[in-house]
Every structure is written in structure tokens, then in C-alpha cells.
Amino acid sequence: MLDRHEPDKQFTDNLEWQIAGEVRRRNRSVSPSRPVWRVARAVALVTVSIAFGAVAMGASQQIEESWRKDLLLSSLEVRHNLAQRRVDMAIEEFQRIERQFAAGMIGEETMAMARLQLVDAEAQAQILELELEEIRDSGREPLGEVSSPLVGGRDFVSERIRVQMAVAARQLEVAAGELQRMQQLRENGLVDRVGLTGVEAAVRQYEGQLQAHEGRLAIRQSFLAGEIPAVEAELRVLEFEAQERSNTVRQQMELADLEREYMQQQVAAGNVDQLVLRQVEFRLAELEAEVRLAELEMEILRRELEARRQQR
Amino acid sequence: MSRYVPEDELILLYRKTVRPLYAYVSRRVGGDRSLAEDVVQDTWMRALDTWPRRGLPREPLAWLKQVAHNVLVSHFRRRRPMPVDPALLDLGDERFSPDTPDAAALVNWGLARLRQRQVDVLEAFHFDGKTVAEIAAESGVSERAVEGRLRRARAKLKRKLAPILRHAVESAGATATGGQGNARQTRTR
């Protein structure tokens, strides 16, 4: 029998799974922070790759059969095998949760989360599979920029974006279902305004992610059609990302604002220490600063894009 | 802004810390599994928000416990506890133990209204099961001083909880005279 202060194995396994999924999701969207630096880096990278494009492509042809390609393939195969195992585990977990759901032991929310984790694991495996194919065809590391060249006529960048879009669409669907459920609970007075706003923010966040993927895909198509040059394509992607960041942080601010209102009432009633209110206010100030940074970045990007359009 | 945090590193850290973190929380919520799981999960989600921005803390378990503590304080501040039969929670007894969820909720509600120094000594003694000698060694004071602090902190806690405990007695009396049996824990919010 379990010690009453010992966690249940099912709980620790589920939480580990959730953490791993969350870390992977966050690591995928990690990007350098300072606006000017990000823009300068994008411009420099693309400029250098254009200048040396011919040489680089020649070199990649030469290393096609070399040790470097073998090493790249081996390392990615290891990751791919792990991803496949993760998918197998996700399927098993999903089936277990499905049985519990059928027996009425868990609610719709847990079921939806399990479905999401499965979709995410499958998408990761698909992306790694595409990367393996790209290495086999190109002899170099996979390229993720929207201005990357086609590989043997194949557009790996768009294929990967489409996989990410499928995940984002699924996340949005689940969050929208959850919002509907919460709205009903709210109508029945079972959840407060803060709980509902949290789910509304999640829905808007997933909508933003989906739009960002659609935007990247559209920019990629414009670049491939020769409508915009490489540097401009990359700058537009940065602009999209800054916009998405700004939207996400604004939603977090709405929540923090509600929290502040609540804390102000609690402080006035003498239930909460002033310090807790100050912590909430500080978090709000941090979020305001993040929005300002994202806006600054957008401003820099717009000017840079405008200057480039005039030069064309 | 976010930095890359290796997944393997975090998972190892999770496996190393989840049991002591759970035990820490569970002892403070009187073994309420559902609440303990929510708090542990919330704490880890906060870690995932903070660590990529500020880097891994030097003592991850201490960091997690501190955040879990804050989550609990915030939780108990917001909820008025259910009255508990004073006979089940004799705050005058130095060995009292809030080992049911309702008793723990009540004690935590009271702790959230005490000074930090008083909270620390009560938590160390009653939740973490440390001896007076251990607390004295950790805080660099004499055992006699710790005993004094414990006594004063318990008395203060008792005063804070008195209205709720009194309410429990009155409600239980009313229920008994109303012919509905004696409720050991009267749930009135």
C-alpha cells in the first residue's frame, strides 16, 4: 500500500509526460530576445548565405557521400528512433486513457489532453523523418529558414510547416472545446471569470500560432515564386513572430490584470498581505515591458522592410 | 526571454525531485491527494515558465518547495476553511498534527495570517517533523529559544483560529439539537 505522502505512480508518469511535451514545445519556439540583434542576425545570415550560396551548394554536393553526412544521419536516426518510441508510448497511454474514459473514470478534459499529446508526438516523429530524408537528399543539415533552397525539387520547409500546422489546428480544436465547456460551467456559476479568461487566452494563443504557421507558409510560397527576396522573406517571418509574441503577452496581461483586481479586493479586506499584491503588479509590469519590446522589434522590422522595398 | 533547456536534464531533475516535493506538499495538505497533485503540477509548470528565462536554480528542490509553498499560501488565503471539531485539533497540545485535509486547510489558513518567523518554526516542527534540536541547529539559536518560539507561535495560531473553531462547536451543537446527528466536521462556508 502507498504511503499517504508518496505520489501515485500514474500521477508521476503523467506529469513527466506532460513536462516532456511542454519542454519540447517550448524549445521549438525558443528564439533570441533583443529585437535589434534578431533583425541584424537574420539579415547577416541571409546575406552571407546568398553571397556564398553557390560555394555552399557545391560543397554539399561534394560531401554527399562523406563521413559528415553519415554522422549527421546517425545522430538524427538516434533521435528519430527515440521519437518513434515516444509515439508508441503515447499510443499506449492514449489507449489506457481511452479505456478509463469509457469506464467513466476520467473526464473529457484529460481525454482531450491525451489526444493532444499523441498528435504532438506523431508530429515530432514526422518532422524528424522529413529531416532524415532531407539529409539523405542534400548531404547537409536540414534548413528551416523560409529562404532555404529546394532539395532536388522538393520543398522540405513547407512540408515541415504543414506538419506543425496540423498540430496547431488540433490544439486549437481541443482548446475551443474546452472553452465551450467552461462557458457552460460559467453560465451555471461553477467557474469564476479568471478561469474562463485563462481558457479564452489559450484559444487565442493557439489561433495566433496557427496564423503564424500560415503566415510562414505564405511567405515561403512568395519567396519560391520569386515575389520577394530572401532577406525580406526572413524579415517578414520575424515580423510575424514578434506580432504573435505581442498578442500572447497581451492575453497574459488580461489575466494578470484580473488577478490584480482580485488581490486589490483581498488586500482591502485584510485577507492578503500587501506584498502579494506587489508581486502581481510586478508581473504585470514585466509583461508590459515584454509587449513594448515586441512592438519595438516590429517597428524596426517594418522600417527595415520599407527601406528594402524602396531599394527594389 | 527563453533559453533552450535540454529535455533530458529537466526530466532527470523531475525524477529526482518529484517524490520529496510531493511529500512536502502532501504533509501540508493533510494527505489530500487531489490538492497535492494539483499543487505539484502547478509548481512544475511555473518552473517550466521561469527556468528557461532565469536559468536553473542552484538548489532546484529548494526552489520547487518554495514555489509550492507560495502556491499553497495563495490557495489557503483565498479559501475560508471548513470548521473542524476542536477536539480533533487541540492546538494547545504540542504534538498536534493536522493530518486530515480539513484540519490542514484550517491550520494553513491560520498560518497564512502569521509572521513568517512563526510560520517557519511551526511548519518545521509540525509538517516536516523536525525536532527542536534540529530546528535550533538550523536556525542558530538555542533549543530553549526554539521552544519559546513554538509556544508563542502556537498560541498566536490558536487565537487566529479561535473564531472558526468556536463556530464549529456552535454548528455542531445546533446540528445535534436539530436531531440530525453529530457532525464531526461541520461544512459551512
Please provide the DSSP assignment of chain B as one string.
------HHHHHHHHHHHHHHHHHHHHHHTTT-HHHHHHHHHHHHHHHHHHHHHH---SSHHHHHHHHHHHHHHHHHHHSPPPP--GGG--TTSTT----SHHHHHHHHHHHTTS-HHHHHHHIIIIIS---HHHHHHHHTS-HHHHHHHHHHHHHHHHHHHHHHHHHHHHHHHHHHHTTS---SS----
Average pLDDT score over chain A? 78
* CB-nearest partner of A30 from B4, B22, B33: B4
Burial of B98 per CB tally in 10 Å (0-12, 13-18, 19+): buried
Per-residue pLDDT band for A27 (boundaries 50, 70, 90) equals: low
Per-residue pLDDT band for B189 (boundaries 50, 70, 90) equals: very low
Per-residue pLDDT band for B187 (boundaries 50, 70, 90) equals: very low
Contacts with B149 (C-beta within 8 Å, 6 or more apart), sequence order = B117, B118, B121
Residues in chain A closer than 8 A to B14 (CB atoms): 15-16, 19
Would you say B114 and B157 are in contact if contact means Cβ atoms under 8 Å apart? yes
d(CA B100, CA A4): 11
Would you say A160 and A84 are in contact if contact means Cβ atoms under 8 Å apart? no
- The alpha-carbon radius of gyration of chain A (Å, integer) is 23
For B113-128, the pLDDT digits (tens) are 888 888 888 888 888 8
d(CA A264, CA A269): 9
Please report the pLDDT score of residue A196 as a whole number.
75
For A57-116, the pLDDT digits (tens) are 444 444 445 666 666 677 677 777 777 777 788 788 888 888 888 887 777 777 777 787
Question: How many C-beta atoms lie closer than 10 Å to residue B68's C-beta?
Answer: 22
* CB-nearest partner of A271 from B7, B22, B77: B77
Q: In chain A, positions 170-209, which contact chain B (CB-CB < 8 Å)?
A: none
Minimal-distance CA residue of chain A relative to B20: A6
Residues in chain B closer than 8 A to A11 (CB atoms): 37
Measure CA of the first residue to CA of the last residue in chain A; give whole Å: 74
* CB-nearest partner of B10 from A4, A19, A31: A19
Instruction: Report the amino acid identity of residue B133.
Output: A
Own/partner contacts of A213-219, CB < 8 Å, gap of 24 or more, are A213/A161, A213/A164, A213/A165, A213/A168, A214/A165, A215/A240, A216/A146, A216/A161, A216/A240, A217/A158, A217/A161, A217/A162, A217/A165, A219/A146
C-alpha cell at B132: 527542536
**More confident: A306 or B179:** A306
Per-residue pLDDT band for B173 (boundaries 50, 70, 90) equals: low
Measure CA of the first residue to CA of the last residue in chain B; give whole Å: 43
Residue spans per domain, chain A: 67-142
Residue A15 in contact with partner chain B when CB distance is under 8 A: yes
Question: How many C-beta atoms lie closer than 10 Å to residue A107's C-beta?
Answer: 11
Residue spans per domain, chain B: 7-78, 86-177
Contact B22 A16 (CB under 8 A): no
Our CA-based measurement puts residue B88 at a distance from the nearest CA of chain A, in whole angstroms, of 19
For B26-41, the pLDDT digits (tens) are 988 888 888 898 889 8
For A150-177, the pLDDT digits (tens) are 988 899 999 999 999 998 898 888 888 8
d(CA B157, CA B127): 15
Task: Over range A285-292, report the average pLDDT.
Answer: 87
B interface residues, A as partner, C-beta within 8 Å: 1-5, 7, 10-11, 14-15, 18-19, 22-23, 26-27, 31, 33, 36-37, 40-41, 44-45, 48, 52, 74, 77-78
Residues in chain A closer than 8 A to B4 (CB atoms): 27, 30
* CB-nearest partner of B7 from A15, A18, A23: A23
Q: What's the CATH class of domain B86-177?
A: mainly alpha
* CB-nearest partner of B11 from A4, A8, A16: A16
Please report the pLDDT score of residue A62 as a whole number.
43
Q: What's the CATH class of domain A67-142?
A: mainly alpha
For A46-72, the pLDDT digits (tens) are 554 444 443 344 444 444 456 666 666
Contact B48 A276 (CB under 8 A): no
Residue A299 in contact with partner chain B when CB distance is under 8 A: no
For A175-227, the pLDDT digits (tens) are 888 888 888 887 877 776 666 777 787 788 788 888 889 999 999 999 999 99
Contact B1 A32 (CB under 8 A): yes
- Indicate which of B13, B15, B27, B78 best probes the interface with A, i.e. most A CBs within 10 Å of its own CB: B78
Contact B3 A30 (CB under 8 A): yes
Contact A266 B44 (CB under 8 A): no
* CB-nearest partner of B44 from A5, A19, A27: A19
Q: Give ipTM to 2 decimals.
A: 0.75
Would you say A147 and A113 are in contact if contact means Cβ atoms under 8 Å apart? no
The structure's pTM equals 0.50
Contact A26 B37 (CB under 8 A): no
- The torsion region of residue A78 among left (phi > 0), alpha (psi -120 to 50) and beta comes to alpha
